[in-house]
Chains A and B, each alone.
Chain A
Amino acid sequence: MNEAPAGHDPDMERRRGQEKRLRAAWATPRGWRYWSAVNNTEVGVWYTATSFAFMLFAGVLGLLIRVQLAVPDNDFMTGPFYNQVFTLHGTVMMFLFAVPIFEAVAITIMPQMLAARDLPFPRLSAFGYWCFLIGGVFVCGSIFFGAAPDGGWFMYPPLSTDPEQAGIGADIWLLGLSFIEVASIAAAVELIVGTLKCRPPGMRINMIPLYAWYILVVGVMIVFAFPPLIAGDILFEMERMFDWPFFDPRRGGDPLLWQHLFWIFGHPEVYIIFLPAIAVVAMIVPTFAQRPIFGYSWIVLAAVGTGFLSFGLWVHHMFATGLPAVSLGFFSAASQAVAIPTGVQIFVFIATLLLGRVVSSTPMLFVWGTLAVFVLGGLTGVMVALAPFDWQVHDSHFIVAHLHYTLIGGGLFPIVAGIYYFFPLVSGKKLSDRLGKWVFWLMFLGFNIAFLPMHVSGLRGMPRRVFSYPEGLGLENLNLVSTIGAFIFAAGFVLLVLDVVRPRRGQPYADTNPWNAGTLEWLIEMPGESWGVRSVPQISSRYPLWEQEGLARQVAEGRCYLPDAEEGRRETLITTTIDALPVQCLRVPGPTFITLWAAAFTGGVFVFATFHWWFATLVSGILGAGAILRWLWTGTAEIPEKPAKDIGLGVTLPLYMSGPRSVGWWAMFITMMGDMAAFASLIFGYFFYWTIHPDFPPPDQPDPSAGWLGLGLVLLLGAWWLTVRARGRNAAGSPGALRGALALGAVLATAGSAALIAAAWLPGLDPTSHVYPAIVWILLIWTAVHGILGVVMQLYCIAGSVAGRLTPRYDIDIWNVTLFWHFMALTAFLTVAVLALFPMAV
């Protein structure tokens, strides 16, 4: 920064030249083109700001709830409006703040933490952000038209499947949120691949920052937790739009299936919120204890263990539905067991703080707040994990208190700690410590004043989601105190927002590494450049800034890997998953509006479908598909001008890799795991109906035609075989054979998909008559749609081969399409096996 004048120092000239080229390659677009940016330094900030905007909106709704409940028999709001307010409060806080803020923070800081220039799919992050923004505005905006969802944040049928009871708000909820879930899965793919493949050389698996461990676990959780909800949304929307009776008991359906699918998503989601927030604590604690974390392996145990166990808890939300006691017992036991890994990490933090010399600071204040509030929420969690106790407090304000203690203690407080801690990374300046103390005490005291009394009001019998209560039940004072506390809490938050947005032109930039932290994100200079890290260092420790002497200087002087952008391209390093050996120099794409268009048109499909504007839906869908294809064609699998590149320090790496060694293949694999999770949920639905019916398939309903099913399977497996063969022949140097095999494969796949539809169509299965034909139809449509998607991919590869962008040597696309077809073949096999064989077996 403040070296002596350069003169003719050749080394200084080298550095200046490198910086100039890097700056040009990573330049943020100016003017209105700013919104075409895809780099994490922009998208991460938009994501964070938008999440907080939704949070403030939902916070205002929360205050409205407290105003309504401040006094008995209040008429501040009508009942129906109150329903919309509390539904939207929960929905927005969970779907538009708690989960997106994790993605926002991770996208912002993960590249810096891994000394990567960017995550591998920046345009995917940008696409996810635009989806989130569009879906979020759509869902939130509905309340201004009196059309917000009003069935509670978990939308239980039959209340919300009944068009008389629940209006268009339920459709807005289902379609708007499904769209946002797509964004979450996109972020999960990006973050998993980023953690596994974009670490700096030498950062072995035993050295990665704890934050990255948590993010890896949470990414995998999203891939398995969100798809069941998407599957549930599909069933739900089919019932609302086309009267397919999935949740209607009169025609064989069961509302309980929705509860299962919702909570298979919903309980892991609680940990999807908690883990990345506590991950921030795992970064802050060592910094302010000024020592490495005590018990690194135990944190890994906690993160991975919690991630798994959280999938065995979902029925504890359904303790009051009359399931057999033994089923409740299993879930109660798992709910107790999850307290072990959850507690372990709290002890690790306390031990680290006890062993270090704690520097007091605003982030640490919020960490103390986190520990205090979350432990209380965790303890009431163990209480409600016991079914008999849960029956007493189910649907009461005790639960409201419990969930706010866990979510605000385990989610919001650590995030605010992170805002104070990471703020200099983003803006180069610190937030005010003086105001910070005010913010903390207002929030901490306000929170406890608001929510501690709810334990008591709940035990005294005050139910959730009821807009008024009569005098004389001993609830008046408790509620009034809660309302006062809520406003104190809100005042603290407003103060934080004011501190974040106030102009700070006069304030000097913070020092480099202002907290004296040990991890790589603090290599960044103040203010940061959009290239992120000046050059990528070789890592040999968990806390490189503490333990690798001179590292910051070497990085800043461009003496490590990738110090230059000779070809003017954005580049980052790809390393191996366990030992982080550098294997590829990956070119990442730059600014574009195409992701915005793709999100806008895809969003159009969901928005127009809500209002049953089918023509607009169709047009939007075609334009969206076109935008995505154009994005893929122009921005991915680019053939480099030379096979390899010198990345400095005598290392030369290939610029292009395909198959299991490429990041694209990993992304496809992870996406397809999520796809299979959604498919498995639909299969689960089929067998769920079998368990609840004495006769399933019902004798008076026709079965799908086994002959057509078999034909469809044979054709689809043929298309799969041809695709696999196309890849092999292409790799052997015969692009003509690739085109021929894929063309024939596309014909077979189209015919196979049609045969599956015929299997239900020809015997006359009527999906509105009973749940059996409905679930058969859904499984067949799911498989056929995937078949058609496979056809599009086959045609895309043929076009690529003809255009010369898919060659025997540069063959990423056909590898990824083959991978898709492996999963497609499995999907087709399972669908046909279940639908054709199961009716014969029972």
Chain B
Amino acid sequence: MTRETRSPRNSLIVLSLGPTIWAVHFLASYVTAAIWCEKAGLGATLSPVQLLVGIFTLAALVAIGALGLSAWRHWGYLENEGPPHDADTEEERGRFLGLATLLLSGLSFVAVIYVALPVVFIADCR
């Protein structure tokens, strides 16, 4: 009665992992660009920043993609009924968490691409 049956997937930490990856990617990109431009001067090229932000972006997208895939399986849309996942069972609670994690992964994926776009269009530190 007093013990929850919990797999690592059933936690609020996993739920917020997608946006957390977004936040780390965002900070890494911003700090890299800010330090580079501060130290290299206004006219400096952004090439090293572009490369680094590209690597960060790739890593973040792969991580969020993997998280989303795991959440998709956890949700189990193909094997089960769809939302609202409001029934009083551990399975439905798990599916809800899977769906919510999937949705947040989707948002984080898009938001990471948004944040990466400036280095595609901006070539120097001005």
- State the A residues within 8 Å of B (CB): 202, 204-207, 292, 295-298, 300-301, 304-305, 307-309, 311-312, 323-334, 336-337, 340-341, 539-542, 576-579, 581-583, 651, 691-692
Contact = CB atoms under 8 A, between A and B. Distances in A.
Contact of A296 (B4, B33, B84): B84
Interface string B5-42: 01000111001100110110010011001110111001
Contacts of B3: 581
A296 B84 CA distance: 7
B4 A326 contact: no
Instruction: List 4 tightest A-B contacts by C-beta distance, closest first.
Output: A329-B118, A308-B19, A206-B96, A540-B88
Contacts of A337: 110-111, 114-115
B35 A304 contact: no
Nearest to B27: A312
A298 B4 CA distance: 26
B104 A301 contact: yes
Contacts of A332: 118
Contacts, number: 145
Given A206-B93, A312-B22, A329-B117, 19 more contacts: A205-B96, A207-B88, A296-B86, A297-B100, A304-B19, A305-B19, A309-B111, A311-B23, A324-B125, A326-B118, A326-B119, A326-B122, A327-B33, A333-B115, A334-B115, A340-B111, A542-B86, A579-B4, A691-B39
B83 A579 contact: no
For the residues of B in contact with A, the DSSP-based class is helix
Nearest to B103: A301
10 contacts: A296-B96, A297-B100, A304-B15, A308-B16, A312-B23, A329-B117, A333-B115, A336-B114, A540-B88, A578-B11
B122 A325 contact: yes
B80 interface: no
A298 B82 CA distance: 13
A323 B119 CA distance: 15
A332 B121 CA distance: 13
A694 to B, nearest CB: 8
Contacts of B33: 324, 326-327, 330
A337 B96 CA distance: 24
A325 B34 contact: no
A344 B31 CA distance: 30
Nearest to B37: A324
A100 B19 CA distance: 27
- Main SS at interface, chain A: helix
Contacts of B93: 204-206, 578-579
A646 B37 CA distance: 66
A735 to B, nearest CB: 28
Contacts of A341: 107
Contacts of B88: 202, 204, 207, 539-541
Nearest to A576: B4
B90 interface: yes
Contacts of B64: none
Interface in B94-126: 96-97, 99-100, 103-104, 107-108, 110-111, 114-115, 117-119, 121-122, 125-126
Contact of A330 (B20, B29, B86, B90): B29
A206 B30 contact: no
Contacts of A304: 15-16, 19, 100, 104
Given A330-B33, A691-B35, A297 B115 contact: no
Given A297-B100, A327-B34, A691-B34, A312 B90 contact: no
B49 interface: yes
Contact of A577 (B12, B92, B100, B103): B12
Given A327-B37, A578-B4, A579-B90, A340 B110 contact: yes
A297 B126 contact: no
B34 A324 contact: yes
B2 A334 contact: no
A170 B16 CA distance: 38
Contacts of B38: 691-692
A297 B83 contact: yes
A326 B2 contact: no
Contacts of B122: 325-326, 329
B46 interface: yes
A311 B121 CA distance: 24
Contacts of A539: 88
B103 A298 contact: yes
A340 B84 contact: no
Nearest to A315: B30
Contact of A578 (B6, B26, B118): B6
A308 B3 CA distance: 31
B104 A305 contact: yes
Contact of B2 (A308, A581, A691): A581
A324 B110 contact: no
Contacts of B42: 324
Contacts of A340: 107, 110-111
B51 to A, nearest CB: 13
